[in-house]
Structure formats: structure tokens, C-alpha cells
Amino acid sequence: MTELRPAILESVSAARLPVLKLGGELGRRQPNPRDRRPPRDPRRLRRGGSAGRGSSHRAEPRTGGRRAHGGRLGRGVHRVRPRLRLSRRRRPEARRPAPGRASPARRRRFGRPRRPLQRDLPHRLTRRLAAHRAHRGDPLGPASRPSRGASAGDAGALSQRGRPAVIRALEVVATGPLALVEDLGRLGYAAVGVGRSGAADRAAYLLAGRLLGEPVGRAAVEVTLGGLVVRARGSLTVVVTGAAAPATVDGRPVGHAAPVHLPDGAVLALGMPPTGLRSYLAVRGGIDLDPVLGSRSSDTLSGIGPAPLRVGQVVPVGEPGAGGPTMDVAPVAAPEGGRVELTLLPGPRLDWLADPRALTATPWTVSGSSDRVGMRLTGPALSRGERWADAELPSEGVVVGGVQVPADGRPIVFLADHPVTGGYPVVAVVRAADVDRAAQCRPGQDVRLRWAVAPR
């Protein structure tokens, strides 16, 4: 083997000589007139490169006439020109690319990305990505939303110091026939067709606020024929006025028209009152539902205001005032259980009745169709005078306590949710002191009407 190695090397060297000689003749690249460039102007300023010693950060032009990558081709390959132009398909940039298709032309950032960019992801990996949307650069406004206290519906609300916020509320366990949130009503909207509404028995409602030492106007719960059961969230002070519904706290009886303390989790239950129709449950701090037109009252006729309370609802309670309860109990009389007398004043259309004395001479009974809009009375129908037998009256304004006689001849005494206007004659008006007594009349109860001033 050692004797044959010099001979092999000599044969290989001899074989390469013709190849190298041919390379000098045929492998030499012929000059191309397109490669001639004008001399560079030495006075021309050159743009500095990027800090990363690489190309500048700018978008590459997407044109088909740019210079091909000829420098990367081998120059010793026969019949292949090193400057052969390889065209690139012009692909316009997609304005709104789908998550798994096109990627932006370049990232709008300075420097280089810290991590590798993933481009053109397949649909299997991008199906959970958010769809493309336009990037908005709206400036932030200078005003900020005012902070509010934690409401009863904010589960897990935190105070400013990070501790759980104290939530004061009433959780509704049972509602009974009807439970509404009421206050003094909406004043000043009758001209636009919105009635006042508010508590039907205003005297009982105002008494509850005075017993708690609250400012006038805090909202309370109006309970019809008892049946309301609530659970206290936080430490609360409550009082029940109006119809004397028997009240218990965790099964223990408590007094009527007297402030009662409810510890956190205590259950207050109201039974059916022996007399009267409506009771009022007031809480220190007031019911803190969102007001509508300046009031938290529920108007059953127009539907304005909070909806009736429902089982499971958490009713927020506001912060108590600076004062507090000033008396232990208020000795007030319960609503009458027998016949109720209501005092009348003459109305603007009294002359439409054939005999005005029939209004006070007839025994009336409260109808079962009575509600917060009006107390309907049943009895002998009242007849019109001959002059007004077939007359039509344009709609005119009505007030709480107005006694309207519709076409059937049976009067209606308007209560808190009365309409703003009416088209039937208003023959009398119940005295303001007796409107609260009318609101406590039950269906089937006897009512007698009498004139405060005898009509002429």
C-alpha cells in the first residue's frame, strides 16, 4: 500500500490539470452590461444602519422587479446564469387577516422581539384566538365615575381598607299578597301625565319615620294583609306601623309601632292584621333602591318605579342618619274594623247627580275590585240629572280623594295611584284627613259618606 500511494496522487494531480485549465476558459463569467453601476458620489450621505448591526426596520417592498438573490447561486455551474431573475408573487397585505392565515407585514415596535414570533399559525392552534378587530386609540377621559358604597347585590364587596364591606339589607323570604316600596311620591310631574303615587296611608308611613328618627321621605315597605317575612343582613333597626300586623323576630313577638332591633341573620315575620289593610315596615336608613323621577315609589297604575318585592330579592338599606329613635312606642289607634265614615266636600260636578243627597244617604260596601288606584263602592246606582243624561264630559284633572261616578252609577274614591285625568264627573272630594282611613278599608267593609258642608 505504501508503494502505490505516490502513484495515485500523481494520477489525481494529472487529472486535475485539464479541469483547472478548462475552468479558466469556460468557468469565467462573461461581463454583463447591466452590472455596470455608476460610480458612487462621495459627497452623498449614507443612512446609518440599525443598532443591531443588521438591516433597518422597514417593510420590504412587494414588487416583482426587485433584484433577485443572485449572490447565493453557485458561479461554477455550467449554463446557469448567476443573475437569473426569480420573480416573487406579489401578495397584497391583508387588511383584516383571519387568526390562522396572514400575519401583519411587520410588528409596530422598536428594536427586536424578545421571543420568536409565531407566524401563519394553523387553524387547529388558532381556533380559540379572538377574531380580528380594529385597534382603537381613544384617549382616556379626564372624568372618572364616582365611587359608590357596596350594595346588597355586590357579593364579596370589599371596603377601602380591603376588609369585607358591611352590607345592610333585607332579604325577602316571603312577600304575602303584595309588598311594595313607597315614599312620599313624585311631585311636580302631573303636567306631563305622571301621577304622584306614594304611600296609601301617609299618616302611618310618616309615623314610622318619626319613630326611627329618620328624615322625612325615606322609603319603606307597604305590606298588604301581612305575610311578609324578611331576614336581616347586618344590624338593623325596624318599626311596623299602620295595620296592626302581629310581628315576630325569630319566633318571639315584638310590639307594634315600636322600634325593634334586628341582629344579623334575624328573621322578621308579619302576620295578617285583625283590622286594616296596609302595614308599613320602615328600617333605619331607608330602602335604598334606585329612584325613578326622584322617588322610589311603586306606581301600580303606570308601572313607574320599583317592581313588587319577590321571594329571594335582597333589598339594600341606606346609611342611617345622625339622629336615632326618640321614643319607645307610639300609642296610636288601629284602623276601624266596622263601619267607616268618610267626610266629603262638594265636587266640581255635583250638579250632574239627580239627587246629591243620595250620595250620603246610601249605605256603601267596599268592592273586592278595589286597589291602590281607587276604592270602589257597591250599592244602589246613582242617577244623573235629565240635563246630563246623555252628555259627554271632556277629560279633566283629578286628585287623590276625588269621588268619581262612572257610567254604572257606583262611586270610586281615588287613592294614591289615581290617574292624572278622568272623563267621568267628580261629584265630591274626601277630606284629606279621611283619605288615609279610606286606604285601610278592606273589601266587604261598610262605608258611609257624609257632607262636611251641606251642598246648596
Q: Where in the chain is the domain with CATH 2.40.100.10?
A: 340-451
The sign of the torsion formed by the CA atoms of 217, 223, 225, 231 equals negative
Cβ neighbours of 181 (radius 10 Å): 22
DSSP string of 186-230?
--S-GGGT------SSHHHHHHHHHHHTPPTT--EEEEESS--EE
Residue 205 backbone dihedrals phi, psi, to 5 degrees = -65, -45
350 DSSP assignment: G
Please give the chain's pLDDT, 456 residues, in tens: 444 444 444 444 444 444 434 444 444 555 565 555 666 665 555 555 555 555 555 555 555 555 555 445 454 545 555 555 555 554 444 454 454 544 454 444 455 556 666 666 565 555 555 455 454 444 444 444 444 444 444 434 444 444 445 589 999 999 999 999 999 999 999 999 999 999 999 999 999 999 999 999 999 999 999 999 999 999 999 999 999 999 999 999 999 999 999 999 999 999 999 999 999 999 999 999 999 999 999 999 999 999 999 999 999 999 987 777 777 778 888 888 899 999 999 999 999 999 999 999 999 999 999 999 999 999 999 999 888 888 888 999 999 999 999 999 999 999 999 999 999 999 999 999 899 999 999 999 999 999 998 777
Cell of 393: 264630559
Helix, coil or strand: residue 49: coil
Number of helices (H), then strands (E), belonging to the chain: the values are 5, 20
Cβ-based neighbour number of residue 170 at 10 Å: 26
Residue pLDDT, tens place only, 417-430 = 999 999 999 999 99
At 180, is the secondary structure helix, strand, or coil? strand
Q: Residue 79 half-sphere exposure, CB side, CA atoms within 13 Å?
A: 0
pLDDT of residue 404: 96
Decide: 374 and 410 in contact? Cβ < 8 Å. no
CB 262 within 8 A of CB 236: yes
Task: Tell me whether strands 314-316 and 260-262 are parallel, antiparallel or unpaired.
Answer: unpaired
Q: How far is CA 215 from the centre of its chain?
A: 28
CATH 3.55.40.20 is the classification of domain 340-451 = no
> For position 124, what pLDDT does the model report?
56
DSSP assignment string, 392-415:
----EE--TTEEE--TTS--EEE-
Tens digit of each residue's pLDDT (9 = 90 or more) over 281-314 = 999 999 999 999 999 999 999 999 999 999 999 9
pLDDT at 178: 97
- What is the strand order of the sheet 169-174 is part of? 252-254, 247-249, 267-270, 229-233, 169-174, 314-316
The pTM is what?
A: 0.65
Helix spans in 319-430 (H):
358-361
Alpha-carbon span 301 to 319, nearest angstrom: 31
- Chain centroid to CA 419: 28
Q: How crowded is the C-beta side of 166, counted as CA atoms within 13 Å?
A: 9
Q: What is the DSSP string of 109-161?
A: -SS--SS----S--HHHHTTSPPP-----PPPPS--PPP----TT-TT-B-TT
pLDDT value at residue 206: 95
pLDDT at 122: 61
The gap from C-alpha 332 to its chain's centroid, in whole angstroms, comes to 41
